[in-house]
Structure 1
Amino acid sequence: MTVVVDEQDKVWFTRAALAAHCPGIGRITVHPTPASSSPAALAHDVLYTMGKRLAPGPGSPDVWLDSVEAAWLAAAAWAQATGVRHVVVLRAHLLTVRRIGQLLTWQTVTGVQLTLLWQREARTLPPVLTRMERCLSGPGGFEILLAEPGPIPARPFFPPGAPLPPVPVLKTAGEVSGHPSAWLPQEPRPSPTRRERRALDCIGAMAMAHLVPAIPAVHVAPQSMAALSSLAHPLVAGALSVMAFTRVNLESLRWTRDLDVTGDVSVIKVHGTAHRSCVLYTVPGWVRPLLAAARAHHRLDPNPVGDSVFAPVMRAEARHLHAHAGRLPSSDLPLPADALVP
């Protein structure tokens, strides 16, 4: 965490920060929206910087991202899944103390290197920032800071070249244990129904990949790829992209668990009726960061290992998926007419 003080508000600092924006190497520059009264405005700015677009309008399908917690959770999932390592925030002196606190909490969760450009006198720094370890001034120090490689995120879910996470240990044909995503102790849960027991007994993608080959993905037009990749909520983007390249319906997607996606996000297991015809699909390259973000969102929440990754978007007859699907270029999106029927 570094605060760069630019007391004279020199244009050089702003230009240098904007020029440093390079998502391909994990460094982004956030320009906060001035005078926005939305509690989640800063989280929306971070999402926008990462190439995500919220649907506008009073009846927006992204209305749940108006919540501060939901918006920052989505921003954390995208940051971890896409390997964001260094975040530069312009005009931090215009942020309220509450929004600075939100930003610091997000930094703690994601493990990114955070640089705040404070373009006012150093004496106006709030107490929470005066305690930071590094406080720089002058172009030379800022240039060196921007040239530094950012740290690896605290919990990288999709970093290029990283080793795969531990594989669940297969004990019997229908019992899987040792999954690494159970970060926190879970509350006691009621006994599962017969249908839930069948889902729990169904082995994960990594174990199944040793038994059967994965099916190639269905082709998706570039226009549809771009539209899906720009969706702001990780669960919506992940769910609709899986439906696009597999042509499965909601019933199949409903049972997708964390362990149904391999560690490198290259294969996904799609469940059939009563888990008798489950199939492996190869995950296309453009879908991998979307699916990785959905899995990161699931783990950050956190959720029990047996729960569906897409459970939050399956409520109320999947209204979020219906609304977003209606905004996509349907002429290019290879979804069957009944794909969104629960």
Structure 2
Amino acid sequence: MAYSDVTIVVDERDDLFYTRAALQAHRPGEGRVTVQPTPASSSPAALAHDMLYGLGKRLAPGPNSPDVWLDSVNTAWLAAAAWGVATGVRHVVVPRAHLLTIRRIDQLLAWRESTGAQLTVLWQKAPRGLPPALARVERRISGRDQFEALLAEPGPIPARPSFPPGPPMAGPAAAAVAAGQSPARQPRETRAVSPRHGRPAAPCTGAMATAQLVQAAPAIEIASEEAADLAALAHPLIAGALSVLAFTRADLGSLRFTRDLDITGDVCAIKLHGVGHRHCPLHAVPAWARPLLAGARAHHRLATRPPEDGVFAPVMVAEARHLRAHARRLPRLDLSQPASALVP
């Protein structure tokens, strides 16, 4: 099998030019990421952690870290693939790939297959040592000019997914914003009512259908520093769940049953569900949270779970301790109390 979107850069003399060029090419905002493998790490998930770090994610430190579940190879690579898809990564450059084990090279190629991104690996020793998986790669370059031209290529997918502006506000909330005031806080659970007919919307329809009938409740504002803290969380489901709690202050039971189809395609609105579907409010998703919910949805789909399943179910039940631990690490958001109610 040949890999059309994989390139081997042969740097047999270990020329510092190639390493410098790779590091300078790191521009996540343009969809190009340079991943530096941690030298001599024996952790099976080390390269996945390096990928997460290159994507701007930071694992919580310490032996009792809430990110300890990312020590699992499959879990860590699934998280890295979800973030790659959600943030529109189009080109990943990996220097010093000759130091990677065959197993880690296979993991890297599998990640590329999941995300559709272009992959460039710098093999900084004699090419006769290439493992079979890389020896099958058709595109191989060895000149400075070729490498610079490669880094200038646009890549196979857009640099960023499109996140259009959120749905417009109407009524008292819009008037408050126009007057320079914060919109009034919405009730935790409000009945989804059609403004045209004055009757409840269908309780189990997805967000797209509901958005045609009801106005999304405006998001609660948070400080940019708090949004940055949430964006740095390594696991997409943790980041997505805590972001929803932050901008909705929703009941955790509602979040527990939020499905893939409860997030609109443009990630501008999310629908939550009350007990018995008596109250199923629609919330506008602020711009800072859209990549985080896109990551949660990508994680759900890469795990091949059906759209009717709860997106956040894995962290709301079996792994609730990790969600609670991360909530406590973000005291400015004051999420520790609601998160503590996740399990008895």
TM-score by length of 2: 0.84
Contact 1:77 1:300 in 2 (8 A): yes
Q: Tell me the SS of whatever aligns to 1:235.
A: helix
Aligned partner of 2:138 in structure 1 is 133
Aligned partner of 2:174 in structure 1 is none
Q: Deviations over 1:258-289 (max 9, x none)?
A: 01000000000111232111111110001000
Task: Kindly state the Cα deviation for residue 5 of structure 1 after the two structures are TM-superposed.
Answer: 0.4
1:229 to 223, 228, 231: 231
Task: Kindly state the Cα deviation for residue 320 of structure 1 after the two structures are TM-superposed.
Answer: 1.3
Against the structure 1 CA distance between its residues 243 and 131, is the aligned structure 2 distance closer, same or farther, given a 3 Å change threshold? same
Contact 1:231 1:237 in 2 (8 A): yes
1:74 to 69, 73, 79: 79
Contact 1:6 1:13 in 2 (8 A): yes
1:86 to 83, 91, 107: 91
2:108 matches 1:106: no
Against the structure 1 CA distance between its residues 340 and 267, is the aligned structure 2 distance closer, same or farther, given a 3 Å change threshold? farther
Aligned partner of 1:191 in structure 2 is none
Aligned partner of 2:173 in structure 1 is none
Q: Tell me the SS of whatever aligns to 1:87.
A: strand
Instruction: Give the letter for the 2:150 counterpart.
Output: L
Aligned partner of 1:214 in structure 2 is 216
Report matched runs for 1:37-186 at 5 Å. Answer: 37-152=42-157, 159-160=161-162
Contact 2:47 2:104 in 1 (8 A): yes
| Alpha-carbon distance in structure 2 between the residues aligned to 1:338 and 1:99 | 39
Aligned partner of 1:182 in structure 2 is none
Report matched runs for 1:278-289 at 5 Å. Answer: 278-289=280-291
Contact 1:205 1:269 in 2 (8 A): yes
What stretches of structure 1 of length at least 5 have no aligned partner?
A: 163-199
Task: Kindly state the Cα deviation for residue 7 of structure 1 after the two structures are TM-superposed.
Answer: 0.7
| Alpha-carbon distance in structure 1 between the residues aligned to 2:340 and 2:219 | 19
What stretches of structure 2 of length at least 5 have no aligned partner?
A: 1-5, 165-201
Contact 1:249 1:341 in 2 (8 A): no
Aligned partner of 2:7 in structure 1 is 2
TM-score by length of 1: 0.84
| Alpha-carbon distance in structure 1 between the residues aligned to 2:298 and 2:48 | 17
Contact 1:13 1:139 in 2 (8 A): yes
Instruction: Give the letter for the 1:263 counterpart.
Output: G
Against the structure 1 CA distance between its residues 30 and 159, is the aligned structure 2 distance closer, same or farther, given a 3 Å change threshold? same
Report matched runs for 1:193-272 at 5 Å. Answer: 202-272=204-274
RMSD across aligned C-alpha pairs, in angstroms? 1.8
Against the structure 1 CA distance between its residues 319 and 33, is the aligned structure 2 distance closer, same or farther, given a 3 Å change threshold? same
Task: Kindly state the Cα deviation for residue 234 of structure 1 after the two structures are TM-superposed.
Answer: 0.1
| Alpha-carbon distance in structure 2 between the residues aligned to 1:315 and 1:308 | 11
Q: % of aligned pairs identical?
A: 66
2:25 matches 1:23: no
Paired residue total: 300
Task: Kindly state the Cα deviation for residue 337 of structure 1 after the two structures are TM-superposed.
Answer: 3.3
